[in-house]
Chains A and B, each alone.
Chain A
């Protein structure tokens, strides 16, 4: 007896007038390079030439899902071409698996077609969803405001213990990273300034530059961006996971408003802590300036500090602090809103955290620009 072939192949033979037999040979397993299906329909011919198709698998040495998928294609072809199939020639296991695969007819409309929509339809959908995003943002803001009023009028119990933990989380635990970033920002500002000002022999004005830049802009902005990445994302992930685990539903059905119990404490904690972090960031930034001023430019420490004190007024500090309170609202709102709107999957939690950070940073920059223009107009 000749050795059985390894290479998967098929041959079509016309055994009688209107009957075609497909002979499979070799190992039809996953990983093997099986023949192209496209040649088969022409080999079988259409229903005018062929009425029945039979199979011969005596030379088939192995089969798995690869073979079944190929046979399934033949079955689908035979249905559209109106040709009868005789499955007696197939191995028992193959026959049973094929019956299983075809037992439940494909549910109409279940398959998600990659149907291309016209650009107009897509634009319409985008407009609709962005309008919905605006509405849900407004609804969320309204809910938080109502919850704030309920809380300060004492009509709902405030979770003081959670609030304490949150304060710690949004406050003291953020100090190391705020210190590092702010000192570095102060250093960088001082460096950039020093190079330029040295040309005029006006190194001492590095103190003005760093002091004003930190107090009015960079302190608030850096603190807010750090908190958006650190705490805003954490809020979104916490609330999102609670949404996935039905924990939020459990609160609602117990008659406890998740806005009162989860969102408001987080917002208040961040809004209270961010101005404090901003003041701290200002001081750290000035420290960075001091390091460059005394270390690199050989300015006396006392002179640097006196210059800073003269340059930075209380008003400048207050601008930064007010900004940071507004940024606090933005970061907390973005984090909590994305968390509460989170879908019910692990993917959705990740998306909520990402979107919380992106939303917060975009609105921080926009708000900063608006406030700077307003300050310019009213002359603060």
Chain B
């Protein structure tokens, strides 16, 4: 068995907006190569937790460690170089609407590499082809559908071959088939690039299909109430709130269809 390394460690994290605490006492580890699911009911702070990972919001207390480097205690330069190794797919895609898809994907490459424009163009075409958008280089984000925007956002997130990819509700607003294709793409990226993947979602099908590790945030007690492989949680968790969530509201797992 190969040695697994901790990639991201969350230590004693408390998230708050002003005095309003969202979640407290979060402690968990994301291993290298994991597809890690952040799940929980609406309004429990999943997206806020994601914002703590990607440098958009600083914790009220506690630390987020990337390979033993504490992100929020590091200097600006270290933070930037850490962020350069991450890719983020936002819920709406968040493509820059004044740029074409090609320019969206190319921006990071122009900014951080010394590649020639022609080479950049080739990489951009490759990334767009990987997400099934070959030939859409010169389209503007407003000219394509929501699902395509999400895939273009993924191409942009993968531009610099990041070690960690974050997904904010990847299947929200997608039809079941597109959602499944996106899940397959996520698995494929993990297999081929060896990236660590963190997904915020409450889509049960996705959770069981792709996740091999997870944390469950509870909005009532404002803390995490379970962590581990979601399939194992479904089979073994003693906590009725977790079982209820994972069985789509059925009171016990016996009610679940085989």
Point out residues on A near B: beta carbons under 8 Å: 157, 162, 241-242, 245-247, 249-256
Contacts and interface: CB of A to CB of B under 8 A. Distances in A.
B150 to A, nearest CB: 12
Given A157-B111, A247-B95, A255 B84 contact: yes
A230 to B, nearest CB: 18
A252 B56 contact: yes
Q: What is the size category of the interface that chain B forms with chain A?
A: 20 to 34
A250 B90 contact: yes
B95 A256 contact: no
Contacts of A251: 96
Interface in B81-112: 83-84, 86, 88, 90-92, 94-98, 107-108, 110-112
B91 A253 contact: no
B19 to A, nearest CB: 14
Nearest to A256: B111
Residue from A249, A252, A255 whose CB has the most chain B CB atoms within 10 Å: A255
A275 B83 CA distance: 40
A253 B88 contact: yes
A253 B83 contact: yes
29 contacts: A157-B111, A162-B98, A242-B96, A242-B97, A245-B92, A245-B97, A246-B91, A246-B92, A246-B94, A247-B94, A247-B95, A247-B96, A247-B97, A249-B88, A249-B94, A250-B90, A250-B95, A250-B96, A250-B156, A251-B96, A252-B55, A253-B54, A253-B86, A253-B88, A254-B83, A254-B84, A254-B108, A254-B111, A255-B80
A162 B86 CA distance: 26
Contact of B83 (A245, A247, A255): A255
Nearest 4 A-B pairs (CB), nearest first? A246-B94, A250-B94, A246-B90, A255-B80
B225 to A, nearest CB: 20
A297 to B, nearest CB: 50
A254 B54 CA distance: 9
A254 B98 CA distance: 17
A38 B93 CA distance: 53
Interface string B12-31: 00000000000000000000
Contacts of A242: 96-97
A195 B158 CA distance: 71
A245 B94 CA distance: 6
B56 A253 contact: yes
